Amino acid sequence: MTPAPRPAPKAIAAADTILLGIGRGFSWLCSFCLLAMLVLTAATILLRPFGLSYYWIFPWVMVLFVWLSFFGFFPAMIFGRDIRIDFIARLFGDTGMLVTRIVGQIVVLFVLYWLLLELPEIVVRQSGSIDGAVLPWGGEAKRRILSLPLLLSCICITAALLVDVAKTFLGLPERNVDHLPGEVGDA
Amino acid sequence: MAILLFTVFIALILLRVPVSFAIGAAVVATFLTSDFSTAMQVIPQQILEGVNKASLTAVPFFIMAGNLMNAAGVTDRIFNFANALVGHFRAGLAQVNVLSSMIFAGISGAAVADCAGLGAIEIKAMRERGYKPEFAAAITVASAVIGPLIPPSIGLVIYAFLAQQSIDRMFLAGVVPGVLVGLSLMLWVRAIAIFRKFPTQPRAPVREVARTGVDGFLALLAPAIILGCILSGFVTATEAGVLACIYCIGLGLWYRELTWQTFFKALNETAMMTSVIMVIIGFSIAMGWLLAIEQVPQGVADWVFSLTESRAVFLALMMVFVLLIGCVVEGVPAKLILVPTLLPLVDLYGIDRVHFGIVLQLALLIGIATPPMGIGLYIVSEVGRVKFDKVALATLPLLIPLIVVLIMLAYIPALSTFLPDLILGPDATTLR
């Protein structure tokens, strides 16, 4: 008989599952933003020959673009789509991977600490409206809707990082170590 | 300050820290040790501002076009047509590999899509015909360099944004260099075929060429449609990206190969890739702000200019420097750091910014085929099931034609500027 899992790993596994679910949700949100950008921009092109244009389309495309960028920040991290260079760590085997895992956690938490310290204040201070981003019920969308996804992603990345720190202490493996070192568009 | 910034950044990326956070940590550390330690709110503000740029909205659509081409079966048709056309040449499938990349480049703006999509088909076909797997993978990654040169190109959109150049001018400037890279690789493969025994295949009958041509005709039309629409002023670069996506969706439906599942997979892949790029851009804009405030680019410019006043020497130094950077830093972050730093020098030496952009683009692109950070090498070794070190070794000789073209582009500016000047007229805002 296999021993029952200890409570700590069980709690961590549950937290991991929840975070993966949120990551998947954010990832779907990103895809929706991209699809909406595609549809709205296509509508602009198709309506142009008929002399039709809606001034609210472009501001909303920009809002969707910013959302796409920031909502994707968390799933990109949690699903290992960020760009990392593994070769030096791999040269030193398991020790190299463990040391760089801890260094990575410290560095990411250091950056997130400063972002999370400043972002809430920035969100609160952004009281102005986005020109042209009209809402169906009247008025224009507030500028803070642009920064909220970044704040949410930073909070989720922090939570995922803390789970990973706990996993490191318990000797559990990290989630994405076999991903390609980068898959970005320029290249 | 700049030394701290770059040392922290390089050290952290070598320690497996995600690139965006390596930039972020370097910026935060530099802020904390500078006079701006009380102005930390600038960092998230710059990230937010950096992403909210209209000219960058073209990026996801050109990534998506590449992903949709793979999902819609366009890639297979391009390969079949190229195979019927040049497959009977010496080292035929290697030539097919290069030609396919040139055609693919006309719709896709990313080398990654070329390596992962076309690469899978090409390496498999070459292996089956008896080519060494490492050579098949090597020629695939070398020819993928063409993708981000021939328009549309995500890298050129980002450069245009950073160097304040028009996207259509940058796109036109990439055409001749992209074709030159393709031709140089084809010539190189032909030359090594004299000494190495590559498998041969019979010339395809005219009927076969016509059949694959008709089959791939709609895919072959795409580059002309995209560039034509931009140059005619009918659409913006972003809208051209959308047109490319719609065109690929149409082709996928016409070929009956695009399903909801593959469509949503392409959509999700694109969204993730875009987010990674945009977050790096956001952090890099914060870094750029710091560099600008501290007048680092001007300092670098004065220092380099004190070493040499020769434009030719500067170009040579710059190429070596960028090639080395490209070996360890991925293209997007490298460009985001290098462009603001090098632009004052470029202006000081009277180099056309469009010309510089193309040289920089190719020099950084060569990085995808060089270890240790060659993304292309990792992808082709993965899709081709070949050991990384074997591919890296097999790719080394193929870097020679790429570097020859790079030198030609650096010292013959007309290769980049002739076409945009001819079609759009000389750019009065650029120093010559």
B230 and B171 Cβ atoms separated by less than 8 Å: yes
Place of tokens 């015909």: B129
Q: Verify whether the Cβ–Cβ distance A72 to B272 is below 8 Å.
A: yes
Q: What is the pLDDT of residues B64-83, one digit of tens each?
A: 988 898 888 888 888 888 88
Give pTM, 2 decimals. 0.84
- Pick from B245, B328, B330: CB nearest A187: B330
β-bridge pairing A129-134 and A140-142: antiparallel
pLDDT for A184 equals 42
Question: Distance between CA atoms of B42 and B237, rounded to whole angstroms?
Answer: 30
Closest-CA residue in chain A for B382? Answer: A180
- Pick from A44, A86, A121: CB nearest B239: A44
3-state secondary structure of A72: coil
What residues of B are in contact with residue A117 (Cβ under 8 Å)?
A: 40
What count of other Cβ atoms lies within 10 Å of the Cβ of residue B35?
10
Question: Distance between CA atoms of B375 and A180, rounded to whole angstroms?
Answer: 8
Question: Distance between CA atoms of A184 and B335, rounded to whole angstroms?
Answer: 13
Q: What is the pLDDT of residues B130-162, one digit of tens each?
A: 899 999 999 999 999 998 999 888 899 999 989
Which run of H or of E encompasses A11?
helix A7-47
Q: Verify whether the Cβ–Cβ distance B276 to A184 is below 8 Å.
A: yes
Q: What is the pLDDT of residues B318-374, one digit of tens each?
A: 999 899 888 877 788 788 888 988 898 999 899 999 999 999 999 999 988 887 667
Instruction: Please identify among residues 132-191 of chain B the ones whose CB lies closer than 8 Å to any CB of chain A.
Output: 148, 154-155, 158
DSSP E strands, B11-131:
none
- Pick from A31, A62, A147: CB nearest B271: A31
Interchain CB contacts (distance < 8 Å): A and B = 234
Please provide the DSSP assignment of B117-148 as one string. IIHHHHHHHHHHTT--HHHHHHHHHHHGGGTT
Backbone angles phi, psi at A17, to 5 degrees: -65, -45
Q: In tens digits, what is the pLDDT along chain A, a chain of 187 residues?
A: 455 555 568 888 899 899 999 999 999 999 999 999 999 999 999 998 898 888 899 999 999 999 999 999 999 999 888 877 777 888 888 899 899 999 999 999 999 999 999 999 888 888 889 988 889 888 899 988 999 999 999 999 999 999 999 998 888 887 764 444 434 444 4
**Centroid of chain to Cα B217:** 25
Instruction: Please identify among residues 283-322 of chain B the ones whose CB lies closer than 8 Å to any CB of chain A.
Output: none
Q: Verify whether the Cβ–Cβ distance A187 to B277 is below 8 Å.
A: no
Q: Verify whether the Cβ–Cβ distance A85 to B45 is below 8 Å.
A: no
| Residues whose CB falls within 8 Å of the CB of residue B396, separated by 6 or more in sequence, listed in order | none
Question: Distance between CA atoms of B105 and B365, rounded to whole angstroms?
Answer: 14
Q: In tens digits, what is the pLDDT along chain B, a chain of 432 residues?
A: 778 888 898 899 888 898 889 989 999 998 888 887 788 888 999 899 888 888 888 889 988 988 898 888 888 888 888 888 888 888 888 999 999 899 888 877 778 778 877 888 888 888 888 899 999 999 999 999 998 999 888 899 999 989 999 988 999 999 999 999 999 999 999 999 888 888 878 888 888 888 888 887 887 787 778 778 877 878 888 898 899 899 999 989 988 889 999 999 999 999 998 998 889 888 888 888 888 787 777 788 788 888 888 999 999 999 998 998 888 777 887 888 889 888 989 998 999 999 999 999 999 999 888 876 677 887 888 778 888 888 999 999 999 999 999 999 999 999 999 999 998 888 755 433
- Taking the Cβ of residue B323 and every Cβ of chain A, the question of whether any pair is shorter than 8 Å is answered with no
What type of residue is A155? I
